Amino acid sequence: MAGKKPGREVESVEPGEEPRLFHIGVSPHIRGKHTTTSIMRWVIAALLPLTAYGVYIGGTDALVVVLMSVVGAVATEAVIQKLRHLPVSIGDLSAVVTGLLLALTLPPGLPFWMPLLGGVVAIALGKQVFGGLGHNIFNPALVGRAVLFISWSEYMTTSWLVNPQAAAVQTSAIKSINAVTSATPLATMGNVRDGELALEASRYCGSLLFGNPWGCIGEVSALLILAGLVVLLIKGLVYWGIPVGYVGTVVALSWVLGMDPLFAALSGGLLLGACFMATDYVTNPMTARGKLVFAVGCGIITVVLRFYSNLPEGVMFAILVMNGFTPLIDRYITPRPYGHKGLVKKV
């Protein structure tokens, strides 16, 4: 044969004699470039500016919270997988994302063991108990936060006040609003239910948008949260319907109930939750319509909790509750396959 490569025995015409020269395997033979790790890397990249700014505002206290939370999450993942004789998969960065998300929902100035414990709980109870990545029902970061919130709620809502650095940045805002006694603007709303006060608070939405000194590390700037979301949307990693549906529902319902919609949108960790918690792959539905139902459900529960309960904020519990509904949504909201009439619901 002309042009035969030396060293390759491909000369025989008879079947069954040749060395196996090529690899076989089922199509498709090329694959997209995204991997779990690359997706997690993008999520971390999207969260990084926000985290950096949060640390800048919160100082070393915030840094300690972030580091401890991430270390707790990653170490727990590794230890549990070692104990269960599974391959250690911390390289996929999903534990880092969980730790980081948890930290962003915590106030700076917590004692160092608390975020550490939060990270441990998030991975151990929130994820590994269910069998690891992809099997958990509830958002691990929020599981971690919920445990901390329930066990040490006074820390969770007031500790930022003891941080002198953060307090200095906050002074101007605090001076203008006579709500120093309560922890976050939302606590004001929930406890006092004073429309006027809330409206006054809305004047400070500007500061909420460009640098909000209130509350948690990840709530310092709505603008940076949105910037992170835009990154994920451009990379096609999250479905726009979740943040839009969630925030949209909250805004609409708040407006109907007579609260300032902008204030409702910008406070109480809603943006962080809608952009980064509700969009967690594992714990929201698989189809676009399912995701919309999920988002609207989150929005309704959030508003209900905000207006009619003593919880100062509803985002965390709203998302956790809807996480619980996700299997049900996935069971009943399925796409209509090509060539079929109507919905095929049996799953």
Partner 1 sequence: MGWVRNLQRELFTKGGVHPPSNKIAATVKIFPGPYPETVIIPLSQHIGAPCEPLVEIHDRVLIGQKIGDSEAYVSAPVHSSVSGEVTGIIGYHHPTGTEVRSVQILSDGMNEVHPSVEPPGDPMEMTPQQIRKHIREGGIVGLGGATFPTHVKLAPPEGKQIELVIINGAECEPYLTGDHRMMVERGEDIIVGARVIERAVGAERIVVAIERNKPDAITLMRELGAEHGFEVAVLPARYPMGSEKTLIKGITGKEVPSGGLPMDVGVVVDNVGTAAAIYDLFYEGMPLVDRVLTVAGDGVAGHANLRIKVGTLVRDVIDFCGGLVGEPGKAILGGPMMGLAQYTTSVPVIKGTSGIVVLRGETVWHREPAHFVCIRCGRCVRHCPMNLMPYLMGSYSDAGMWEELGPLNIDDCVECGCCAYTCPTKNPLVQLIKVGKEGLARQQRKMEELAEEWEEA
Tell me which DSSP letter residue 184 carries: S
By CB under 8 A, tell whether 22 contacts partner 1. Answer: yes
Tokens standing for residue 183: 């922890």
User: What 8-state DSSP symbol labels residue 277?
Assistant: I
Would you count residue 31 as binding partner 1 (CB under 8 A)? yes
Residue type, 7: G
Maximum separation of any 2 CA atoms in the chain, in Å: 92
Q: Which residue is listed with tokens 């160092």?
A: 112
Residues 6+ apart with CB under 8 A from 310: 190, 191
Least CB distance from residue 147 to partner 1, whole Å? 23
Stretch that binds partner 1, among 100-108, 190-198, 208-216, 334-342 (CB under 8 A): 334-342
Which of 150, 196, 310, 347 forms a contact with partner 1 (CB under 8 A)? 347
Residue-wise burial string across 173-205, b where 16 or more C-beta atoms lie within 10 A, e elsewhere? bbeebebeebbbbbbbbbeeeeeebbebbbebb
Q: Does 289 bind partner 1 (CB under 8 A)?
A: no
Cβ nearer to partner 1, comparing 74 with 222: 74
Residue from 239, 276, 294, 317 binding partner 1 (CB under 8 A): 239
Q: Which stretch binds partner 1 (CB under 8 A): 12-20, 100-108, 156-164, 182-190?
A: 12-20
251's tokens: 């805004």
Considering only the stretches 11-19, 141-149, 161-169, 183-191, report the one whose residues sit in contact with partner 1 under the rule CB under 8 A: 11-19
| Among positions 57, 74, 133, 322, the unique one binding partner 1 when judged by CB under 8 A | 133
Answer yes or no whether residue 207 interacts with partner 1 by CB under 8 A: no
Query: Using CB under 8 A, which of 24, 85, 150, 310 touches partner 1?
Result: 24
The answer to whether the peptide bond before residue 243 is cis (omega within 30 degrees of 0) is no
CB 171 within 8 A of CB 197: no
| 342 is a site residue for partner 1 (CB under 8 A) | no
Q: What is the DSSP letter of 344?
A: -
- Two tokens, residue 213: 């000194």
Output the smallest distance, CB 271 to partner 1, in A.
22
Count of residues that interact with partner 1, criterion CB under 8 A:
51
Verify binding: residue 203, partner 1, rule CB under 8 A.
no
| Residue type present at position 339 | G
**Six token digits for residue 278:** 């509700």
Interface residues with partner 1 (CB under 8 A) are 1-5, 8, 10, 12-13, 15, 18, 20-32, 34-36, 38-39, 94, 133-134, 239, 281-283, 285-288, 291, 334-340, 344, 346-347
